């Protein structure tokens, strides 16, 4: 174990009960207009995506205190202030990791879905049920008391093509339900967002849809986009980011890159960091998170993990240097509070959602959670909710499902990293397992294998 260069604070946090860490002096992130703030300062996300083992392992890195203390010094070495985690076990204890991160000034953005509990893009209606919401709400309960939770993602990349937009109303209903739950059951307001796939075909419609309508609770608080369009020594214009800044300049809530770092050219130089934290972008974007901390099959790692040992890769050093040589802009960096909410997008061949249709109502059985709390967390081994409240063969399916997630995750990332940001099946998070039956899973794994061969 490499404890030698851990900070005193981190070691203290390892053994300190949660109550001893003062929450009051730690500034939780707030949102004003299209920007984040920590206290009165504008806050830019400088982060990495953190899921050692990848999506297939479906392991909770925030309940692994040894893993957190192993990795913390490397987070600090990079100079980051945020991590995104895709899968957690809502029945586990997260206090040691969360306190270590807090003491290091590192915020957490958390996806609330798991391989067994998420909106199923292939058949969204049955997957939106009370048992699913219980899982989501119990995850909010598990994290709502940590001041360094920056926000929750209601979903990741559920819409990943022009023909999966029927899932959008269910995702928006989950955003609404999470915001309602947080208002009723959380000691503070915590932002709720969506993380969009790197697809050009209807990203703008997604941005509009999740930010439109009279019901404030159903509009997201922040929008993350996975964006691999800056490859190698690209530029603000060539990457398409300049055009995005123009198109998105009217957006009323914070925008950031929930994944970035194209790996078509390696080692990655991260020349995009200079643009992302420059005023040419900060009037519209609030930073981002590099995909990803650990080296996995998809080859996006900054470090190699071997048990307790970390080996930094060239990408780690390059990112560290890019961050170190790129300060945040002074002042507010062009943030605005005057933008208006969006118009719900009209239907088109790329967007099937009727702008006037009501959102799905919260399933009746879920209302008690809003009033009384979510109750007992069921963790990662509870029943699958993706085909309804529960199905009889959940346990037998579990292994086939996670095996498929592994195959598709490994294969799809290289397909996603296209310089032209074409539609991709960039599946790494828990939502990647939306297709949760062995039959469909095997088909997806097969497609993944084909793609892997091709790329
Ligand atoms: C707010 O965040 C910025 C950027 O990460 C940092 O420089 C500053 O010290 C933070 N301020 C507070 C009060 O934590
Ligand atoms: C979407 O279209 C693609 C390509 O035509 C097809 O393979 C896929 O099955 C469709 N997905 C859904 C959910 O209809
Ligand atoms: C970690 O490093 C130590 C010291 O170099 C070595 O003895 C050990 O075998 C390594 N462990 C793994 C899992 O690589």
Residue nearest to atom 8 of ligand 3 (CA): 309
Pocket test for ligand 2, best of 123, 158, 163, 170 (most atoms within 8 A of CB): 163
Q: Quick one: how many helices (H) and strands (E) in the chain?
A: 15, 13
Ligand nearest to the CA of 306: 3
Residue 66: C-alpha distances to residues 13, 94, 358, 374, 380 (Å) = 12, 12, 47, 29, 20
- Could you tell me how many residues make up the chain? 455
Could you read off the pLDDT tens digit of each residue along the chain, which spans 455 residues? 333 333 334 434 444 344 444 445 899 999 999 999 999 999 999 999 999 999 878 899 999 999 999 999 999 999 999 999 999 999 999 999 999 999 999 999 999 999 999 999 999 999 999 999 999 999 999 999 999 999 999 999 999 999 999 999 999 999 999 999 999 999 999 999 999 999 999 999 999 999 999 999 999 999 999 999 999 999 999 999 999 999 999 999 999 999 999 999 999 999 999 999 999 999 999 999 999 999 999 999 999 999 999 999 999 999 999 999 999 999 999 999 999 999 999 999 999 999 999 999 999 999 999 999 999 999 999 999 999 986 433 433 333 333 223 323 322 333 232 222 333 333 333 343 333 332 233 233 333 322 222 22
Owner of token pair 């599946």: 427
**CA 96 to CA 372: how far, in whole Å?**
27
What three-state secondary structure class fits 411?
helix
Q: What is the helix (H) or strand (E) element at residue 440, kind and residue range?
A: helix 438-454
> Ligand 3 centre from 74 Cα, in Å?
17
Which residue among 73, 205, 216, 259 is the active-site one?
A: 259
For residue 166, report the distance from its CA to the centre of ligand 2, in Å.
12
Ligand nearest to the CA of 46: 1
Nearest residue by C-alpha to atom 5 in ligand 2: 163
Q: Does the Cβ of 311 fall within 6 Å of ligand 3?
A: no
Whose Cα sits closest to atom 7 in ligand 3? 309
User: E-assigned strands of 248-308?
Assistant: 255-260, 285-290, 303-306
3-state secondary structure of 108: strand
| Cβ pair 232, 194 in contact under 8 A | no
The Cα–Cα gap between 63 and 96 comes to 8
Rounded to an integer, what distance in angstroms lies between the CA atom of residue 343 and that of residue 328?
Answer: 32
Task: Give the pLDDT of residue 428.
Answer: 39
Q: How far apart are CA 425 and CA 190, in angstroms?
A: 29
Q: In whole angstroms, give the CA distance from residue 83 to residue 50.
A: 6
Facing residues of 342 across strands?
212
Any atom of ligand 3 within 6 Å of the Cβ of 343? no
Query: Which ligand number lies closest to the CA of residue 1?
Result: 3
**Contact at 8 Å (CB) between 103 and 417?**
no
| 259 part of the active site | yes
- Which H/E stretch holds residue 423? none
Q: Cβ < 6 Å from ligand 2: which residues? A: 122, 161, 163-164
3-class state of residue 385 by DSSP: coil
Q: Which of 218, 196, 223, 221 is nearest to 362 (CA)?
A: 218
| Residue pair 191/221 in contact by the 8 Å Cβ criterion | yes
Q: From the CB of 17, is ligand 1 less than 6 Å away?
A: no
pTM confidence score: 0.84
What distance in angstroms lies between residue 163's CA and the mean position of ligand 2's atoms? 6
Q: How far, in Å, from the CA of 206 to the mean position of ligand 3?
A: 47
Nearest by Cα to 51 from 320, 431, 429 = 429
Dist. CA 269 → ligand 2 center (Å)? 36
Residue 24: predicted pLDDT: 59
Q: What are the start-end ranges of the H helices in 308-437?
A: 314-324, 367-372, 394-416
Cα–Cα dist 286/136, whole Å: 26
Specify the ligand 3 atom closest to the Cα of 307. 13
How many Cβ atoms from other residues are within 10 Å of residue 357's Cβ? 9
Test site for ligand 1: of 23, 37, 43, most ligand atoms within 8 A of the Cβ: 43
**pLDDT of amino acid 141:** 98
Lay out the sheet containing 29-32: strands in order across.
Answer: 29-32, 35-38, 41-43
Of all protein residues, whose CA lies closest to atom 6 belonging to ligand 2? 163
List pLDDT tens digits, range 24-67. 589 999 999 999 999 999 999 999 999 999 987 889 999 999 99
**189: how many CB neighbours lie within 10 A of its CB?**
13
CA distance linking residue 162 with residue 179, whole number of Å: 27
* Alpha-carbon gap, residue 419 to 204, rounded angstroms: 19
Q: Which atom of ligand 1 is nearest to the CA of 105?
A: 14
Q: What is the pLDDT of residue 389?
A: 84
What lies within 8 Å, CB to CB, of 210 at 6+ separation is 168, 171, 172, 175, 194, 219, 220, 223
User: What is the 8-class DSSP label of residue 420?
Assistant: T
Nearest atom in ligand 1 to 41's CA: 1
CA angle 407, 411, 417 (to 5 degrees): 150
Q: Which of 73, 157, 205, 296 is catalytic?
A: 157
Indicate which residue's Cα is closest to atom 1 of ligand 1: 38
Nearest ligand to the C-alpha of residue 167?
2
**pLDDT value of residue 390:** 67
Check residue 434 and give its pLDDT: 37
């Amino acid at each position: 174990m490499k404890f030698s260069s851990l900070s005193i604070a981190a070691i203290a946090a390892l053994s300190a009960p949660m109550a001893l860490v003062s929450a009051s002096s730690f500034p939780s992130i707030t949102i004003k207009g299209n920007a984040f703030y920590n206290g009165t300062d504008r806050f830019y996300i400088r982060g990495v995506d953190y899921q050692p083992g990848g999506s297939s392992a479906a392991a909770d890195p925030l309940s692994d205190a040894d893993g957190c203390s192993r990795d913390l010094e490397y987070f600090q070495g990079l100079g980051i202030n945020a991590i995104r985690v895709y899968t957690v076990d809502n029945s586990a204890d997260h206090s040691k990791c969360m306190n270590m991160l807090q003491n290091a000034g590192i915020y957490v953005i958390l996806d609330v879905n798991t391989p067994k509990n998420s909106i199923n893009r292939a058949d969204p209606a049955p997957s939106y049920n009370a048992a699913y919401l219980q899982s989501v709400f119990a995850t909010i309960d598990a994290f709502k008391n940590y001041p360094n939770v920056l926000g929750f993602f209601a979903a990741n990349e559920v819409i990943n093509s022009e023909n999966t937009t029927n899932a959008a109303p269910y995702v928006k209903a989950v955003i609404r339900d999470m915001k309602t739950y947080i208002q009723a059951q959380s000691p503070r307001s915590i932002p709720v967002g969506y993380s969009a796939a790197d697809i050009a075909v209807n990203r703008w419609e997604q941005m509009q849809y999740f930010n439109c309508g009279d019901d404030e609770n159903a509009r997201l608080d922040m929008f993350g986009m996975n964006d691999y369009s800056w490859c190698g020594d690209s530029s603000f214009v060539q990457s398409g980011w300049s055009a995005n800044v123009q198109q998105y300049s009217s957006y009323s809530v914070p925008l950031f890159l929930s994944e970035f770092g194209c790996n078509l050219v390696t080692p990655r130089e991260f020349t995009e960091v200079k643009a992302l934290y420059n005023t040419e972008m900060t009037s519209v974007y609030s930073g981002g998170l590099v995909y990803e901390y650990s080296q996995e099959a998809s080859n996006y790692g900054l470090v190699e993990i071997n048990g307790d040992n970390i080996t930094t890769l060239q990408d780690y050093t390059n990112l560290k240097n890019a961050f170190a040589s790129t300060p945040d802009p002074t002042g507010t960096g062009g943030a605005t509070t005057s933008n208006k909410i969006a118009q719900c997008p009209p239907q088109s061949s790329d967007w099937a959602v009727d702008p006037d249709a009501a959102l799905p109502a919260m399933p009746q059985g879920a209302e008690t959670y809003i009033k009384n709390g979510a109750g007992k967390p069921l963790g990662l081994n509870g029943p699958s909710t993706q085909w309804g409240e529960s199905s009889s063969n959940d346990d037998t399916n579990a292994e086939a499902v996670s095996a498929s997630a592994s195959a598709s995750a490994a294969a799809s990332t290289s397909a996603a990293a296209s310089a032209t940001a074409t539609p991709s099946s960039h599946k790494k998070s828990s939502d990647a397992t939306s297709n949760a039956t062995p039959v469909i899973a095997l088909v997806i794994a097969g497609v993944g294998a084909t793609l892997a061969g091709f790329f």
